[in-house]
Amino acid sequence: MTKLWGGRFTKTAAEWVDAFGASIPFDQELVFEDIEGSKAHARMLGTCGILTEEETNKILQGLQSIQKKVEKGEVEFSIALEDIHMNIEKLLIDEIGPIGGKLHTARSRNDQVATDMHLYLKKKVKMIIEAIEEMQQALLHQAEQHVETIMPGYTHLQRAQPISFAHHLMAYFWMLERDKGRLKDSLKRIDYSPLGAGALAGTTFPIDRSFTAAELGFTNIYENSMDAVSDRDFIVEFLSHASLLMMHLSRLAEEFILWSSQEYHFIELDDTFATGSSIMPQKKNPDMAELIRGKTGRVYGHLFSLLTVLKGLPLAYNKDMQEDKEGMFDTVATVTGCLKIFTGMIVTMKVNHMNMEQATKQDFSNATELADYLASKGIPFRKAHELVGKLVLLCLQKGCYLTDLTLAEFQKASPLIDEDIYNILSPYEAVKRRNSDGGTGFQQVRKQIEKAKKLLHPNL
């Protein structure tokens, strides 16, 4: 097949060379963005008098016809035509004749593909933000049900202090809120139109770049044509934000994996989000959570890959930049899928609140309560810390917990300890009393839940 750009060539590439250089196997993902950009470009050419009204209408009708055929699955793309742009242009020429070749006036594939990716990412980032909000809503719903569900809080994966299960879940709500904020902010950089920048130097035709920007819903145009076609910062930024988001999902996935194990048995995942073993009939594996944890590395890889591709490129466009798309497409699909799966896991999980509460009664996570109690009696906290440490040692030697000690044993350590210590050491009371701003106290947890609800539903 003769290339649309092949006028100065005397040889054609072998099929395997064409296949190596072609991007159509993956950039066909941009087909509707490419058609949308082409429609805007055609309307601009007509408005500026570069195309006649008849030519403009014919091109727009041809593009609309191609779009309908693509939607019906009636179009096969050709590797020989390299990419989505040349495939659409060839389809247009076949549809309406040589006039279709006028569509490429005053533009290059360089500004065309950049425009396609801006359009694509603008749409997909908004979809991901919506998916994040659905997961936040699921976390919020579970948190509302479990404000007074007590569980062990951990540091270094060792039991540290009792906390509200809702408080733990809400920590991830706020992580996702920051992820959402970063993605929303990135839309400012995505919202730029490169269309009309040409290959790198602009064009001699009297085009109106602001017209096409407005037609495509962009707020801004790139001020420098070389920057317009070579900028992939907006994709790097998206991949960076996606990596942070996946890191947060991976951390929660790890907790779900631990909590659903027999050793913890704090939650049970719905059968929909678990699998069995081919050899061990009793197994219920948290495979979906494990996959999310594993797919995090995949997204990280796409970020590092694009940074590496771009790090030594001179201006303006280079064929290396063809490698910017697959990672972007895969990240969008991966992040969207992980958010949907996680939302389902959260909504359907069973919380074993009795097991959580029981776990707080079989450890020393209430030791800080005793230290705070002594400090409130006037003992310097460092001294109180030492006294409590010795009481914990006594318990370890006796094979019991702090609440099992007699009042006489407490008072031997410090006569300031009174009978109210048993209420103070209650895990429920320990959680309830932590009412500093942002703390795990029930009042504070309800306060952050209300604030979170207003963020998700500002009009309620």
Q: Domain of 333: which CATH number?
A: 1.20.200.10
Mean pLDDT over 343-362 rounds to 96
Give the confidence band of 325 by pLDDT, cuts at 50, 70, 90.
very high
Domain boundary among 60, 80, 105: 105
pLDDT averaged over the chain? 94
> Looking at residue 83, which CATH number applies to its domain?
1.10.275.10
Instruction: Report whether pLDDT(455) > 70.
Output: yes
pLDDT at 399: 95
> Crossing angle of helices 381-398/367-376, nearest 10°?
140
Q: Where a domain ends, among 77, 105, 133?
A: 105
* Same domain flag for 224 and 145: yes
pLDDT of residue 278: 85
Q: How high is the pLDDT of residue 20? A: 74
- pLDDT confidence of residue 3: 62
Confidence of residue 283 (pLDDT cuts 50, 70, 90): confident
Residue 5 falls inside a structural domain: no
- pLDDT tens per residue, range 167-223: 999 999 999 999 999 999 999 999 999 999 999 999 999 999 999 999 999 999 999
Same domain assignment for residues 146 and 258? yes
- The percentage of residues in the chain with a pLDDT greater than 70, rounded to a whole number, is 97
Identify whether residues 438 and 326 lie together within a single domain: no
Query: Which one is catalytic: 141, 277, 376, 457?
Result: 277
For range 146-171, the mean pLDDT: 96
Q: pLDDT tens, 52-65?
A: 999 999 999 999 99
Residues 233 and 94 in one domain: no
Residues 372 and 330 in one domain: no
In a domain, 123, yes or no: yes
Report if residue 267 sits inside a domain.
yes
Note the pLDDT of residue 8.
67
Q: Is residue 220 part of a domain?
A: yes
Q: Indicate whether 11 belongs to any domain.
A: no
Residue 7 has pLDDT above 80, yes or no: no
For residue range 385-434, what is the model confidence (pLDDT) as tens digits?
999 999 999 999 999 999 999 999 999 999 999 999 999 999 999 999 99
Mean pLDDT calculated for residue range 363-375: 93
Residues with Cβ within 8 Å of residue 306, at least 6 apart in sequence:
232, 235, 236, 239, 323, 324, 327, 328
Compute the average pLDDT of residues 320-334: 95
Query: Which H or E element spans position 163?
Result: strand 158-164
Q: Which is higher by pLDDT, 282 or 225?
A: 225
Domain stop point among 358, 381, 402: 358
Does the annotation mark 248 as catalytic? no
Domain count of the chain?
Answer: 3
Whether residue 77 sits in one domain with residue 45: yes
- CA end-to-end span of the chain, whole Å? 60
In the predicted model, what is the mean pLDDT of residues 361-369? 91
Are 421 and 319 contained in the same domain?
no
Share of the chain above pLDDT 90, in %: 89
Residue 90 domain-assigned? Answer: yes
Q: In the block, which residue shows the tokens 């079989």?
A: 362
pLDDT of residue 6 exceeding 70: no
What are the tens digits of pLDDT across the range 253-271?
999 999 999 999 999 999 9
Whether residue 44 is predicted with pLDDT greater than 60 in this model: the reply is yes
23 and 117 part of one domain: no
Predicted local distance difference test score (pLDDT) of residue 172: 98
Kindly state whether residue 3 falls inside one of the protein's structural domains: no
If asked whether residues 31 and 173 sit together in one domain, one would say no
Answer yes or no: 104 catalytic.
Answer: no
Same structural domain, 145 and 287? yes
pLDDT of 281: 83
pLDDT at residue 12 in the model: 74
Pair (257, 351) in one structural domain: yes
The predicted model gives 319-327 an average pLDDT of 92
Q: Is the pTM of this model over 0.95?
A: no
Is residue 210 situated within a structural domain?
yes
Q: Whole domain around residue 383: which residue ranges?
A: 364-456
pLDDT score recorded for residue 453? 96
Query: Are 226 and 354 in a shared domain?
Result: yes
Say whether pLDDT at 442 is over 80.
yes
